[in-house]
Chains A and B, each alone.
Chain A
Amino acid sequence: MSSHREAPEIAKDPVADSTDVYAFVSPDRPDTVTIITNYVPFQNPAGGPNFYEFGDDVLYRIHIGNHPPDIAPDEQGDIIFEFRFTTEVTNSNTFLYNTGPIGSLDDPNWNRRQTYSVTRVDELLGATELATGLACPPCNIGPRSTPNYATLANAAVFDLPGGGKVFAGQRLDGFWADLGSIFDLGTLRPFQDLHLIPSAAAAGVNALQAVGVHTIAIQVPISELARDGVVTDDPLHPAAVIGVWASASRQQSLVRDGATTARAGKFQQVSRLGNPLFNEVIVPMAEKDRWNAQSPLFDSEFVQYVAHPELAGLLPVLYPGVFPNLAGLAADRADLVAILLTGIPPGIVPGFQNYTGTTPADFLRLNMAIPPAASPNPLGVVGGDLAGFPNGRRVTDDVVTIELRAVAGVTYPLVDPTFTPDAAAGAILDGTSPPPGFLAAFPYLGHPVSGYDVLPLSV
């Protein structure tokens, strides 16, 4: 998974579990950047009566670093958007989420609702509350409870001062992957007959089909994100690049005292995410929760796992004879270090860079001077589309395929032109398709499926 349940402890705390981060120049408003962070993974749409929600006791943050490459990044970023949620129960005499159709965001039939505040914390200007009391939409319950769900959810897109937009609420998970295959000893469905334990060819299965998540999405003018407000159309300009990551934090202590709980202390980070699959696939299990608790600025501790990823060693073992060139590649994976930890410096990919300096840090790096692609290629930069992953990440980017191919050696010629990737490396496919229903406008991720409409899994 991108980062769904990716570490042992955070897997037990879904409300604080960040699952995906997206950052891209908004295709319909190219003077803005959209950043999306998802939490609360694997929502069964029928999971009532206590449907899914954000945590009132969780501090959700989007961090943005905009330092030029010659200055080390800040531990928490130069700009932080903080989101705090408040839950209200309007009718304490019912077990129901709603006591009739929910026709609007202030419908009295809606029993358990959330509002939130948005605060911008700027390195130089301090904290500014941008909005408070904004309504989340309800979860998509079914045609009787939440008729006209799209209208209801669209009403929860709010304008922010300065020309931005914000949304927080349930969405259809935009991540797609054949998890059942990958986690069954690294099976890649196109080659399952070549696996050490072979099986017959079969179509891929998207394990996240119809699954919901809780999304925090914000759209911000580029001028408010770039260093010193510099807006440039030169991709090689150092101010064109930002580094983005998301986090969730809980207070240091929780005391259960009979039926009462007391929380106290500073917020301690328990989850973070920049590049998809970083903690999931790169960091060893024993270190995943420690990674989650730290700032990306300490990722030098994890460089070894990027330079020599476990998966790159496994592929030639699991698929004997299929990845001979990868098997012979013993050098540090400078390509992966650049893609995931420093950004790609100028001079590697013509007309492109997303370099943030030598400090290794898991940022999702976006070059804001690259305009949106007219015809996005889901393989992003690997597919010749500079507006896609790993230049930020769009909701339609096939990050599983991109990263599998990169780990398998497809991107190593960027740093060593004498290396020839195995033919299989470029043929890897996840074997699944993206979910339907991505939106053309903010917040871009599709509306969630209702519990009533989801069919049970066949066994």
Chain B
Amino acid sequence: MSELTRRSFLAGSAGAATGAILLAGARTASATDSEPAVTGLRPRSYGGGGDTSTDGVVVYVRDAAAGNVLVMAGEESIEVTDPKLVKAVARALRNGEG
């Protein structure tokens, strides 16, 4: 998986902004989807004890057939129905970008 794709879908070190951009693009591409309130996502830092934790945005495809996605960032989660996003994830997996 390229770094760009890796950050887009798992965003281990890219932070909340990358995930928000991804979602914004996905919403634009799917005109029928309702608008999720991604502005409510608030990251919290962990790991003052010396570990290497970081905030990120995690996108979990909960039900691929229904296009149902759970987007997690900070201590918030939002549910998004976005078949195009799910198809993009599936396409990336098929193409071996990992």
CA distance A56 to B58 in the complex (A): 20
CA distance A92 to B50 in the complex (A): 8
CB within 8 Å for A261 and B52 given contacts A252-B77, A266-B77, A267-B75: yes
B72 pairs with A266, CB closer than 8 A: yes
Smallest CB–CB gap between A86 and chain B, Å? 5
Identify which of A252, A259, A264 contacts B56 (C-beta below 8 A). A264
CB within 8 Å for A112 and B49 given contacts A264-B72, A264-B74: yes
Which B residues are in CB contact (< 8 Å) with A260?
12-13, 52-54
A420 at the interface (CB under 8 A from B): no
Interface members, chain B 42-89 (any A CB < 8 Å) = 46-58, 60, 70, 72-77
A124 at the interface (CB under 8 A from B): no
Smallest CB–CB gap between A113 and chain B, Å? 9
Number of A-B contacts (CB under 8 A): 80
Which B residues are in CB contact (< 8 Å) with A112?
49-50
CB within 8 Å for A56 and B49 given contacts A257-B12, A262-B56: yes
CA distance A112 to B47 in the complex (A): 12
Smallest CB–CB gap between A445 and chain B, Å? 25
CA distance A262 to B45 in the complex (A): 10
A255 pairs with B52, CB closer than 8 A: no
Interface members, chain B 4-48 (any A CB < 8 Å) = 10-13, 46-48
A263 pairs with B10, CB closer than 8 A: no
CA distance A251 to B46 in the complex (A): 12
CB within 8 Å for A265 and B46 given contacts A253-B60, A260-B53: no
A89 pairs with B55, CB closer than 8 A: no
Smallest CB–CB gap between A99 and chain B, Å? 15
B58 pairs with A265, CB closer than 8 A: yes
Identify which of B13, B46, B52, B56 contacts A56 (C-beta below 8 A). B46
Binary CB contact string for chain A from 244 to 274 against chain B (1 if under 8 A, 0 otherwise): 0000000111010111111111110000000
B49 pairs with A266, CB closer than 8 A: no
Identify which of A89, A253, A255 contacts B50 (C-beta below 8 A). A89
B13 pairs with A262, CB closer than 8 A: yes
CB within 8 Å for A253 and B72 given contacts A261-B53, A262-B13: yes
A261 pairs with B54, CB closer than 8 A: yes
How many residues from A make CB contacts under 8 Å with B? Answer: 24
Which A residues are in CB contact (< 8 Å) with B11?
262
CB within 8 Å for A255 and B48 given contacts A262-B53, A264-B74, A267-B75: no
CA distance A92 to B73 in the complex (A): 29
A74 at the interface (CB under 8 A from B): no
Which A residues are in CB contact (< 8 Å) with B53?
57, 260-263
Smallest CB–CB gap between A172 and chain B, Å? 24
CA distance A53 to B49 in the complex (A): 11
Identify which of A88, A259, A264 contacts B55 (C-beta below 8 A). A264
Smallest CB–CB gap between B6 and chain A, Å? 8
Which A residues are in CB contact (< 8 Å) with B77?
252, 265-266
Which B residues are in CB contact (< 8 Å) with A258?
12
CA distance A92 to B52 in the complex (A): 14
B75 pairs with A255, CB closer than 8 A: no
Which A residues are in CB contact (< 8 Å) with B54?
260-262
Smallest CB–CB gap between A15 and chain B, Å? 12
Which B residues are in CB contact (< 8 Å) with A262?
10-13, 53-56, 58
CA distance A88 to B52 in the complex (A): 13
Smallest CB–CB gap between B23 and chain A, Å? 13
B49 pairs with A264, CB closer than 8 A: no
Nearest B-chain residue to A114, judged by Cβ: B49
Nearest B-chain residue to A256, judged by Cβ: B12
CA distance A258 to B51 in the complex (A): 12
B72 pairs with A261, CB closer than 8 A: no
Interface members, chain A 145-169 (any B CB < 8 Å) = none
Which B residues are in CB contact (< 8 Å) with A89?
48-50
Smallest CB–CB gap between B13 and chain A, Å? 6
CA distance A53 to B10 in the complex (A): 29
Which A residues are in CB contact (< 8 Å) with B73?
264-265
User: Which positions in A face B, CB cutoff 8 Å?
Assistant: 53, 56-57, 86-89, 92, 112, 251-253, 255, 257-267
Q: Supply 20 A–B pairs (Cβ within 8 Å), ascending by A.
A: A56-B47, A56-B48, A57-B53, A88-B49, A252-B58, A255-B56, A257-B13, A258-B12, A259-B52, A261-B12, A261-B52, A262-B10, A262-B56, A263-B46, A263-B53, A264-B55, A265-B70, A265-B72, A265-B77, A266-B77
User: Which positions in B face A, CB cutoff 8 Å?
Assistant: 10-13, 46-58, 60, 70, 72-77
6 closest A-B pairs by CB = A87-B49, A265-B72, A257-B12, A262-B56, A264-B72, A253-B58
